[in-house]
Amino acid sequence: DAGVIQSPRHEVTEMGQEVTLRCKPISGHDYLFWYRQTMMRGLELLIYFNNNVPIDDSGMPEDRFSAKMPNASFSTLKIQPSEPRDSAVYFCASSFSLNTIYFGEGSWLTVV
Amino acid sequence: GDSVTQMEGPVTLSEEAFLTINCTYTATGYPSLFWYVQYPGEGLQLLLKATKADDKGSNKGFEATYRKETTSFHLEKGSVQVSDSAVYFCALSLSTSGTYKYIFGTGTRLKVLA
């Protein structure tokens, strides 16, 4: 299997711009997760979906962040407007029936 | 609440030294336990797991035993290599009454010197 695929791998954007991160989970997986990793806060769960339905978005930092999963093979995480403190590595991950989580390689976001 | 506690890093060892990274957990039910490893510039990847008490997970020379009596899942390796330098995360997954949790520890950075 191809694994969890994320794009873009690296993005540098200016403050105030909209950022869209994309994720293709492993085929057949029913859970999809978005995590954020920073030096200060470590690994944080932002939101997760089960069968394309958002289950827990309590980790989403504020209204500037939104996530969608229109179908079983695609999800987006959007930040609008972006701020420098959003600079981080954003990981998408998927799993089958709450077992092992498989991570993508991450999207490295820098907001200047 | 449910949680995972790892030893603070960084851990610095010489090549061929014995490694232990401590992990303890608090959980209301019966979690599955995991160790993930993150190499520089990469995502986390599963290293090993154990799904019930007394299970031993092992992979690439690493081992961890699910100890229910001490609520621990310590990671060990008998002889580390420079290539083992990475950040190691302990995690648990738990599903109770339709609520799902997957909790990661804060990570322990390991540096192995040649």
pLDDT at B33: 95
Q: What confidence category does residue A66 fall into, taking pLDDT thresholds of 50, 70 and 90? A: very high
What pLDDT shows up at residue B96?
73
Cα radius of gyration rounded to whole Å, chain A: 13
Q: How confident is the model at residue A111 (pLDDT cuts 50, 70, 90)?
A: very high
Nearest chain B residue (CA) to A6:
B43
Q: Which of B36, B88, B102, B103 to mutate to test the interface with A (most CBs of A within 10 A)?
A: B102
Partners of residue B34 in chain A, C-beta under 8 Å? 100
Burial of A36: CB neighbours in 10 Å, binned 0-12, 13-18, 19+: buried
| CA B50 – CA B57 distance, rounded (Å) | 5
Output the six-digit token pair for B17: 């030294």
Which of the pair, B7 or B70, is modelled with greater confidence? B70
Put simply, the answer to whether A102 touches B46 (Cβ < 8 Å) is yes
Which member of B49, B95, B100 has the closest CB to residue A100?
Answer: B49
- Say which residue, A93 or B2, is predicted with more confidence: A93
Three-point CA angle A79, B91, B99, nearest 5°: 70
CA dist., res. B66 & res. A51, Å (int): 30
pLDDT one-digit tens code per residue, A10-26: 999 999 999 999 999 99
In chain A, residues with a C-beta closer than 8 Å to the C-beta of B102 are 33, 45, 98, 101
Q: B43 and A103 in contact by Cβ < 8 A?
A: yes
Q: Three-class SS string for A35-95?
A: EEEECCCEEEEEEEEECCEEEECCCCCCCCEEEEEEECCEEEEEECCCCHHHCEEEEEEEE
CB nearest B43 (choices: A56, A100, A105): A105
B62/B97: higher pLDDT:
B62
Average pLDDT of A44-52?
93
- Nearest chain A residue to B107, by CA: A42
Total Cβ atoms within 10 A of residue B82: 11
**Given this model, what pLDDT does residue A1 score?**
62
pLDDT tens digits, B18-75: 999 999 999 988 899 999 999 988 889 999 999 999 999 999 999 999 999 999 999 9
Segment among A15-19, A93-97, A98-102 with least mean pLDDT: A98-102
- Cα–Cα distance, B26 to A59 (Å, whole number): 20
Contact B46 A100 (CB under 8 A): yes
Query: How is residue B76 written in tokens?
Result: 């060990």
User: Between residues A100 and B68, which one has the greater pLDDT?
Assistant: B68
Token pair belonging to A110 = 């820098």
User: What pLDDT score was predicted for residue B95?
Assistant: 80
The SS3 of residue B77 is: strand
Confidence tier at B97 by pLDDT (50, 70, 90):
confident
Residue predicted with more confidence, A104 or A99: A104
Nearest CA in chain A to B96: A98
Rounded average pLDDT over A96-102 = 83
User: Cα separation of A32 and A94, whole Å?
Assistant: 4
Mean pLDDT for A83-92 is 96
Point out the residue among A98, A103, A105 whose CB comes nearest to the CB of B100: A98
pLDDT on residue B12: 97
Decide if A43 and B32 are in contact by the 8 Å CB cutoff.
no
Q: How far is B94 from chain A (nearest CA, A)?
A: 8
The residue among A59, A86, A69 whose CA lies nearest residue A22 is: A69
Q: Residue A40 class from Cβ within 10 Å (0-12 exposed, 13-18 middle, 19+ buried)?
A: exposed
